[in-house]
Every structure is written in C-alpha cells, then in structure tokens.
Amino acid sequence: EPEVTQTPSHQVTQMGQEVILRCVPISNHLYFYWYRQILGQKVEFLVSFYNNEISEKSEIFDDQFSVERPDGSNFTLKIRSTKLEDSAMYFCASSDTLTGLHNEQFFGPGTRLTVL
C-alpha cells in the first residue's frame, strides 16, 4: 500500500541552525502539506503546496519557513534559523484531490525536531 515517507525520523539541532525536513508523498498525489504537533498539543496546519507553489499557509508559517519540491518525488520543509519553540513533531501529508469524495490527507510517520 502506498505511503508517505519522511526523513530523518529524529533531528537534533542547535538554536539558530538551519534544518531541512524531507518527505516523499504518495506518488500520484498532487497536493502536499506540512503540519506540526508540539508535545501534548493539537496537530496544527502549517502550509499546503500545489503546482509548485504555496496555496495556503498559517500564521505559524512565517519568513523562517519555506517549502520546496526540488524534484518529482521529494517535498521539503526548511527552517532557516531554528528557535527553541520550533521543537515539535513535523508531519508531511498528501492528497490526490482537493474537492470531491476522495480528498482525505494521508500522513507520514513524522520527524521529531529537537532544538537545543
């Protein structure tokens, strides 16, 4: 069964450093998302991406964040200068449609980011 994969599973970094989180969405999906979950809190939407551009973003997704689809399979989230409060589980998701009866988003296993 196709699935979303993410690497690394755990990333430890120093405050102020740049990190890149990587995702391989399900191969025939067209819509890609990043969410995050701070320990003990709700899953929060960060950004959605379609046709090589951001289609929606939350207030959390400020200038320190960027997304890219560098090739036909990978989807990345970059945090330019990490802060302590960026420590969280980051989930990538994908869906094959935006509307209609099959717009469910499928999530990857997550990358745990720890900022020291």
Element (H, E) at 38: none
Yes or no: say if 82 and 65 are a contact pair by the CB < 8 Å rule: no
108 lies in the site for another protein, by CB under 8 A: yes
115 lies in the site for another protein, by CB under 8 A: no
Q: What whole-number distance in Å separates Cα of residue 35 and Cα of residue 47?
A: 7
96 lies in the site for another protein, by CB under 8 A: no
Q: What whole-number distance in Å separates Cα of residue 17 and Cα of residue 83?
A: 9
In the complex, the smallest distance separating the C-beta of residue 16 from another protein, rounded to whole angstroms, is: 27
Nearest Cα residue to 106 out of 94, 88, 115, 114: 94
Q: Tokens 């991406």 — which residue?
A: 49
Q: Which of 2, 43, 80, 83 binds another protein (CB under 8 A)?
A: 43
Q: Which stretch binds another protein (CB under 8 A): 14-22, 64-72, 78-86, 95-103?
A: 95-103
In the complex, the smallest distance separating the C-beta of residue 5 from another protein, rounded to whole angstroms, is: 10
Q: Which residues bind another protein (CB under 8 A)?
A: 4, 31, 33, 35, 41-45, 48, 50, 55-56, 58, 89, 91, 98-99, 101, 103-110, 112
